[in-house]
């Protein structure tokens, strides 16, 4: 029964608030405006839904409980329904202020090593993000088909690269937790870094994120 009919794909999106050195985070604006932008464009392809769009504090340990509240709040709908055809994807957007291209992050590493304090004043140095996972060298890879997503976006004319290093700051911290959560729940998780709007303008970035949603859905 559950295998009949088209697969439904719901993608939940998160961005971040400002942090030291980045007074206006483009991902905050993208996350806040994405639903209305999609509606103005006439919606998404059949079977693809935009779920929650949340802006997270640019912080690690102090904001972890809120991150898990966000992740858990979108589980109840499909949990318990073993016949559900729905695929749940978490798309996390973060800014790399020195970048000039979009970067699809293939993995996160179990290490928190913050170059500056986060927005709640935490600055860990070479600490494991999840102690029970062991070494700070441990990495978790996304189950999303990054190669296919990359090729799709490249073919649409976007300046995009693939990356194996999401840093050791808040972006990597959130991604590691999300990948771990996704493994446990049978979801998918992907992190993508975007440049500042001064490097790639806002409208192009909005177009990119919609194309990214479509590219992710095409590989699920």
Q: Are 155 and 72 in contact (CB under 8 A)?
A: no
Q: 5: alpha, beta or left, given left = phi > 0 and alpha = psi -120 to 50?
A: left
State the pLDDT at residue 1.
41
State the pLDDT at residue 85.
78
Whole-angstrom Cα distance, residue 218 to residue 220? 6
Token duo for residue 67: 């991150």
> Can you list the positions of beta strands (E) in the chain?
8-16, 48-56, 86-95, 102-105, 107-109, 139-141, 160-163, 188-194
Q: What is the pTM of this model?
A: 0.94
Angle made by CA atoms 17, 131, 71, in degrees to the nearest 5: 40
Token duo for residue 85: 């055809």
- Angle between helix axes 170-185 and 64-73 (nearest 10 degrees) is 40
- What percentage of residues in the chain have a pLDDT greater than 90? 88
For the stretch 138-178, pLDDT in tens is 999 999 999 999 999 999 999 999 999 999 999 999 999 99
Whole-angstrom Cα distance, residue 179 to residue 163? 16
């Amino acid at each position: 029964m559950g295998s009949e009919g088209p697969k439904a794909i719901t993608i939940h999106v998160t961005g971040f608030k400002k942090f030291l050195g980045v007074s206006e985070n483009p991902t905050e604006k993208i996350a806040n405006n994405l639903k209305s932008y999609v509606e103005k464009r006439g919606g998404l392809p059949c079977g693809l839904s935009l779920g929650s769009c949340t802006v997270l504090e640019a912080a690690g340990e102090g904001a972890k409980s809120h991150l898990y509240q966000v992740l858990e709040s979108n589980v109840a709908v499909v949990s318990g329904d073993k016949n559900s055809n729905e695929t749940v994807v978490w798309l996390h957007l973060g800014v790399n202020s020195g970048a000039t291209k979009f970067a699809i992050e293939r993995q996160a590493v179990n290490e928190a090593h913050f170059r500056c304090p986060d927005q709640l004043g935490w600055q860990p140095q070479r600490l494991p993000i999840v102690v029970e996972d062991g070494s700070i060298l441990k990495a978790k890879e996304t189950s999303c088909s990054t190669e296919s997503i990359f090729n799709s976006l490249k073919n649409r004319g976007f300046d995009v690269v693939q990356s194996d290093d999401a840093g050791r700051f808040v972006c990597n911290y959130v991604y590691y937790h999300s990948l771990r959560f996704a493994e446990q729940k049978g979801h998918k998780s992907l992190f993508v870094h975007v440049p500042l709007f001064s490097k790639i303008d806002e409208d192009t970035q909005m177009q990119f994120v919609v194309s990214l949603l479509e590219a992710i859905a095409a590989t699920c």
